[in-house]
Amino acid sequence: MAFSFKLKSGVALYGAYAAIAAAAFAVAFAAPSISAASAAAFGAGPSGAFDNLNRSRPLAALGSEQQCKRYSGLPARWRDDPQAGMVHLHGGDFVFGSKLGYEDERPAGDGKTHVAGFWIDQTDVTNAQFAAFVHATGYVSDAERQGGAVVFHTPTREEMNARDLAWWSWVKSAAWNHPGGPGSNLDGRMNQPVTMVTQADALAYAHWLGRDLPTEAEWEYAGKAGHDGADLDTAPRDAHGKPSANYWQGVFPVLDTGEDGHVGLAPVGCYAANDFRLYDMIGNAWEWTRDVYTGPHQSHTNGDTAAVAPLSRRHDTPMVIKGGSFLCSRDYCVRYRAASREQQEADLPASHIGFRTVSRDAS
């Protein structure tokens, strides 16, 4: 079932989606993937690069629905500890990329890549954290400057028949703090990932804390957490077959069953951490890296958000984003794996993209 298809025309698509829905569910339920169990066989386990510097540090009390709902969005010792909310990873070698996914994920040579040690946020940067940054600095985000952002909504039948990419809209005045446009606010969302931020917005936040964005290699080293990458057909599910991340169960873009407990963005840390104690490396919101996208260009997962942006907008450099989002399904995207990658123009804010920060060891 792992394929992504490109829409040529909206005509009669709604019917087509309905027709394949049953088949998609049959596959989803008949063959639940047990990635956690099989991944354990590869070995690094919870030790590995998660090193002694994390001893006696306050780690986030997250990993379940009850815990993420209670979370304020600000980590322990926020602003008192330069590494608040972070864990330290020892440097090491890993296989960067995967032969099991899309063409643009293939490792260069044997893929063996070294990364030096670094600190990394346990969660995506939250709205609460970004709000603190804006409050302290008066920062105006790119979406506010540009007058809007690309926002997802579940399209109606009429919308699907009326235009391509009916699930994406350029919403005037949408921004990180007005996720639905004018009149919308962040009530009840302070513990969710900040989204509708460009790469420059993400870097501005990171620099404010003396940090940086991860390189793609650093992000993937952290995301794989000592394991090999999952194959293309392996959706994130735990040993009991339950979704272990916030992605899309059902038929994109018309029916999200919310089997994982969330339709749309979730608070950070609702699902179990990976073996490096990092939350939501897969699903929820895509994450900016600092790297330019290279390699074979693939058709956009979930449809090209640049297609709905104003024509006057200049096209900026495509950068690598990682981890997939709440919109990745088995029938569209299938990029809920650590090796998978996507390109996003650096200055294009969208409602499915956020980030986390790193702080590298002195070399």
Question: Smallest distance from the beta carbon of 245 to Ca ion, in angstroms?
Answer: 8
Q: Which of 341, 334, 332, 335 is nearest to 291 (CA)?
A: 341
Q: For residue 146, state whether it binds Ca ion (rule: CB under 5 A).
A: no
Q: Which of 134, 133, 122 is nearest to 68 (CA)?
A: 122
Nearer to Ca ion, 169 or 246 (CB): 246
Question: Smallest distance from the beta carbon of 141 to Ca ion, in angstroms?
Answer: 25
Nearer to Ca ion, 212 or 238 (CB): 238
Q: For residue 341, state whether it binds Ca ion (rule: CB under 5 A).
A: no
Question: Smallest distance from the beta carbon of 280 to Ca ion, in angstroms?
Answer: 11
What are the tokens at 91? 């440097």
Question: Smallest distance from the beta carbon of 41 to Ca ion, in angstroms?
Answer: 27
The β-bridge partners of 168 are 152
Q: For residue 113, state whether it binds Ca ion (rule: CB under 5 A).
A: no
Q: What is the CA radius of gyration of the chain?
A: 19
Q: For residue 244, state whether it binds Ca ion (rule: CB under 5 A).
A: no
Q: For residue 237, state whether it binds Ca ion (rule: CB under 5 A).
A: no
Q: For residue 352, state whether it binds Ca ion (rule: CB under 5 A).
A: no
Site string for Ca ion, 172-201 (x = CB under 5 A): ------------------------------
Q: For residue 280, state whether it binds Ca ion (rule: CB under 5 A).
A: no
Name which of residues 299 to 328 contact Ca ion (CB under 5 A).
326
Helix axes 127-137, 199-208, angle to 10 degrees: 70
Question: Smallest distance from the beta carbon of 88 to Ca ion, in angstroms?
Answer: 30
Question: Smallest distance from the beta carbon of 240 to Ca ion, in angstroms?
Answer: 17
Nearer to Ca ion, 117 or 264 (CB): 264
What are the tokens at 312? 């006057």
Phi, psi of 85 (to 5 degrees): 80, 5
**353-354 and 286-292 strand pairing:** parallel
- In this structure, what DSSP letter does residue 61 have? -
Q: For residue 262, state whether it binds Ca ion (rule: CB under 5 A).
A: yes
Question: How far is Cα 98 from Cα 220, in angstroms, rounded to an integer?
Answer: 11
Helix (H, G, I), strand (E, B) or coil at 258: coil
Tally of CB atoms within 10 A around 106: 15
Question: How far is Cα 46 from Cα 195, in angstroms, rounded to an integer?
Answer: 30
Nearer to Ca ion, 33 or 98 (CB): 33
Question: Smallest distance from the beta carbon of 224 to Ca ion, in angstroms?
Answer: 22
Single residue of 246, 325, 340, 351 touching Ca ion by CB under 5 A: 246
The β-bridge partners of 329 are 333
Nearer to Ca ion, 262 or 322 (CB): 262
Q: For residue 260, state whether it binds Ca ion (rule: CB under 5 A).
A: yes
In contact, 338 and 35? CB cutoff 8 Å: no
Which span (11-19, 91-99, 254-262, 349-357) binds Ca ion, by CB under 5 A?
254-262
Residues, the chain: 363
Question: How far is Cα 29 from Cα 361, in angstroms, rounded to an integer?
Answer: 44
Question: How far is Cα 142 from Cα 145, in angstroms, rounded to an integer?
Answer: 5
Nearer to Ca ion, 25 or 78 (CB): 25
Q: For residue 83, state whether it binds Ca ion (rule: CB under 5 A).
A: no
Question: Smallest distance from the beta carbon of 327 to Ca ion, in angstroms?
Answer: 9
Chain contacts with Ca ion (rule: CB under 5 A): 246, 260, 262, 326
